[in-house]
Amino acid sequence: MIDKQNIRLDKWLWAARFYKTRSLATEMIQGGKVRYNQQRCKPSRIVEVGAQITLWQGSEQIQVQVLALSDKRCKASIAQTLYQETPQSLAKREIDQKQRQLAPKPLSPERRPDKKQRRQIIQFKHQHSGD
């Protein structure tokens, strides 16, 4: 953690380990997946302590408050001290996780059909396509 005030948003997101690469962080910001104080911004936006950052990681929306600044990527345990997730965000993520667990699993075959089964499928499709 440093006291330097000119840390870019893409660099901070990368240092806080929200995204694996800085270029991925830049893509997410430009794609509108990251909001700084509830507003769209550019990757070059200067991060300030106390700012609210809302971002998407996969299918989850996370809202954090900036506690410290860093431009160096370090261990995850240290990176977690750079921010604090808001209680509303934690509660929403828990609800979303429970809903995903209760949702029915998509139906998919155990394995791919073998050669004989593929021939039967093709034959079946040709018989019923002429009707």
Three-state SS letters, 29-98: HHCCCEEECCEECCCCCECCCCCEEEEEECCEEEEEEECCECCCCCCHHHHHHHEEECHHHHHHHHHHHH
- Going from the N-terminus, what domains does the chain have, and what CATH number goes with each? 1-89 (3.10.290.10)
Task: Tell me the sheet residues that pair with 20.
Answer: none
| pLDDT recorded at residue 116 | 94
Per-residue pLDDT of the chain (131 residues; tens, 9 = 90+): 544 568 999 999 999 999 999 999 999 999 999 999 999 999 999 999 999 999 998 888 999 999 999 989 989 999 999 999 999 999 998 998 888 888 887 776 678 889 999 999 999 998 877 65
Structure tokens at 69: 């600044």
| pLDDT recorded at residue 131 | 56
| pLDDT recorded at residue 46 | 94
What's the pTM?
0.73
Q: What is the pLDDT of residues 82-117, one digit of tens each?
A: 999 999 999 998 998 888 888 887 776 678 889 999
CA–CA separation, 94 vs 128, rounded Å? Answer: 47
Query: By C-alpha distance, which of 54, 72, 61 is closest to 17?
Result: 72
Sequence-distant (≥ 6) Cβ neighbours of residue 10 within 8 angstroms: 22, 25, 26, 29, 43, 44
